[in-house]
């Protein structure tokens, strides 16, 4: 376990360690669970990784809402496989977080008690089938931009989980884009459904990258320590640049009148994000914050007797094996 390390009173020994640590990660070096690390690095990673894991798990709910109504057997299987992957990804990242000396139990409790954050995007409702397309295309698209960066994070277990996740998530975005493309060349009702979903999911997707750089307290430190390699605004810009031509290709319109290509910077300029909405949802007052947490609590509470039964059975068997061995 890393030593306690308050920034105000660093012992000469810890100051030397910190310097060596920062030089190491500054050169792109990896940090492994048993290596010395500043307590704040450990805390930041626990915060960031558990938030990421919670997002995967809560993220199952909006899409899960459409599994039983998916309009074809193929779409049903794809959606099931995708939502299942999200459970898997939550699981990988929880396990990565556990290498920092915290149990999954504590992390889950923090989520259920409303003390931990998860991505605000999952506090929006999925109203039509096209929302499943929009989520795959935009939400997973944004996640991939972020996660491709995190696959190079300085903390080894996080980076390794991200590499696995990026490989698996490739199909998530494609299936979403395929849904949107199919709808937009479908019946007028289907095309309208696709445009409506895009209108509702576009801005929340941009918010997924977090506050702008001028208002992001953790960014500088995370970049210094090699956890993040790019700022929120850089990632957001990359996502917009990638997505604009994709929308054009399938005949859908992004709901931003200020969208302009800048020949000089070779980037797409976009309008101002509604930061009031962003903070409202972050603070728990989005359309589905309450429902999402309640669904997770219900699953956890209803499952308590199941987890207990399996443990009781294992304990009996262990006792039995010891008794027969003796």
Partner 1 sequence: MTQGDHPVGDTQWPLWEVFTQSAPGKPHEHAGSVHAPDAELALQNARDVYTRRGEAVSLWVVPADAITASSPSDAGPFFEPGNDKAYRHPQFYKVPRGVKVF
Partner 2 sequence: MDSNAALVDFLLGLGDDRLVLGHRLSEWCGHAPILEEDIALTNIALDLIGQATLFLGLAGDIEGKGRDADALAYFRSDREFRNHPLVELPKGDFAFTIVRQFLFDAFGYHLLQALAESAHEGLSGIAGKSAKETAYHLRHSAEWVVRLGDGTEESHVRAQSALDEAWRWTGALFVPTPAEAVLAESGVAPDLVGLESVWRSSVDEVIRNSTLELPEALPPTGKGYRRGDHTEHLGTLLAEMQSLARAHPGATW
Binding site for partner 2 (CB under 8 A): 57, 60-61, 64, 67-77, 80-81, 83-84, 87-88, 90-91, 94, 129, 179, 182-183, 186-187, 189-190, 295, 298-299, 302-310, 312-313, 316
Is 39 a binding residue for partner 1 by CB under 8 A? The answer is no
* Partner interacting with residue 60 (select from partner 1, partner 2, none; CB below 5-8 Å by kind): partner 2
Cα–Cα distances in Å, from 31 out to 11, 89, 120? 21, 21, 29
CB of 311 to partner 1, least distance (A): 5
CB of 303 to partner 1, least distance (A): 9
Residues between 74 and 113 that touch partner 1 (CB under 8 A) = 81, 84-85, 88, 91-92, 95, 98, 103-105, 108-109, 112-113
CA distance 285 to 278: 10
Q: What one-character-per-residue DSSP string does 16-82 give?
A: HHHHHHHHHHHTT--B-TTS---HHHHHHHHHHHHHHHHHHHHTHHHHHTTGGG-SSHHHHHHHHHH
Distance, CA of 166 to chain centre: 12
CB of 166 to partner 1, least distance (A): 14
CB of 140 to partner 1, least distance (A): 17
Helices (H), ranges, the chain: 12-26, 39-58, 60-64, 73-98, 104-112, 130-134, 140-150, 156-184, 188-207, 219-224, 232-249, 275-280, 289-325
Query: Which residues contribute to the site for partner 1 (CB under 8 A)?
Result: 32, 34-36, 81, 84-85, 88, 91-92, 95, 98, 103-105, 108-109, 112-114, 161, 164, 168, 297, 300-301, 304, 307-308, 310-311, 313-314, 317
């Amino acid at each position: 376990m890393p030593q306690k390390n308050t920034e105000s009173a660093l012992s000469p020994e810890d100051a030397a360690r910190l310097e060596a640590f920062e030089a190491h990660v500054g050169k792109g070096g990896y940090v492994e669970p048993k290596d010395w690390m500043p307590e704040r690095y450990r805390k930041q990673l626990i915060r960031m990784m558990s938030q990421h894991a919670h997002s995967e798990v809560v993220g199952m709910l909006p899409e899960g809402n459409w599994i039983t109504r998916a309009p074809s057997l193929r779409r049903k299987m794809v959606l099931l496989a995708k939502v299942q992957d999200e459970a898997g990804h939550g699981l990988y990242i929880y396990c990565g977080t556990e290498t920092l000396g915290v149990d999954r139990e504590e992390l889950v409790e923090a989520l259920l008690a409303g003390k931990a954050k998860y991505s605000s995007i999952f506090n929006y409702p999925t109203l039509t089938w096209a929302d499943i397309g929009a989520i795959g295309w935009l939400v997973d698209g944004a996640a991939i931009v972020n996660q491709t960066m995190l696959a190079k994070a300085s903390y080894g277990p996080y980076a390794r989980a991200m590499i696995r996740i990026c490989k698996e998530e490739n199909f998530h975005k494609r299936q979403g884009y395929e849904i949107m493309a199919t709808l937009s060349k479908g019946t007028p009702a289907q095309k309208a459904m696709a445009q409506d979903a895009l209108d509702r999911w576009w801005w929340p997707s941009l918010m997924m990258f977090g506050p702008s750089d001028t208002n992001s307290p953790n960014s500088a430190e995370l970049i210094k320590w090699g956890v993040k390699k790019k700022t929120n605004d850089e990632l957001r810009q990359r996502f917009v640049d990638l997505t604009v031509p994709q929308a054009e290709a399938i005949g859908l319109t992004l709901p931003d009148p200020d969208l302009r290509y800048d020949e000089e910077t070779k980037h797409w300029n976009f309008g101002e994000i509604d930061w009031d909405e962003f903070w409202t949802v972050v603070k728990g007052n989005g359309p589905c914050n309450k429902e999402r947490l309640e669904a997770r609590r219900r699953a956890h509470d209803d499952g308590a007797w199941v987890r207990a039964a399996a443990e009781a059975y294992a304990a009996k068997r262990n006792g039995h094996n010891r008794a027969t061995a003796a």
